[in-house]
Amino acid sequence: MLKTKDILDEKNKMLRMVSKEVTFPLSDKDRKTIDLMVEYLTNSQIDERAEKYDLRPGMGMAAIQLGIPKRYLTIVHEVEPGIFDTYVIINPKIVSTSLEKIYVEDGEGCLSINRETVGIVPRYARVTIEGYDVNGNKINIRAREELAIAFQHEIDHLNGILFIDHIDKNNPFKDQDKYRPI
């Protein structure tokens, strides 16, 4: 079982690496890592389990956050209390975006950034992602709102970008009126 301490902190230079494309078939080790990522994300969103195992709540995780510089990510999205949609995507690419941009009103968070941050992170309201499932089958995912933000956040990780990089250091709420809060 993954623990919060297994997730790299923002000070770790590995988080700034651009992750490498994955080849198929996936190794048993990568499949096991994906299972552990999904398990962590699911448990971290169930209050009793998060408390029991001391997990910081998270919705998404990229392999690089575990020190694995490979292009895969997982997202566990709670669609109703206790009901989750799970996404695993290998070699993801954003192939289209909306014109509209949004931001998380309460601020974006990250399992690798364990401190208070302020400022807006402009994100596309809708995105289409192409990639592959764990068996190497091509998949296409359309995401909107919170889920779209999660995909953009995790794909940023694969490119060595943290959400704080999107916040204007001199004016954290710059252009806030141009984007819709969610």
Which residues does the annotation mark as catalytic? 154
Other Cβ atoms closer than 10 A to 7:
21
Alpha-helical segments (H) within the chain: 28-44, 47-53, 145-158
Measured between alpha carbons, how far is 74 from 35 in angstroms, rounded to an integer?
Answer: 9
> Given the DSSP bridges, would you call strands 60-62 and 72-80 parallel, antiparallel or unpaired?
antiparallel
Cβ neighbors of 99 (< 8 A, separation 6 or more) are none
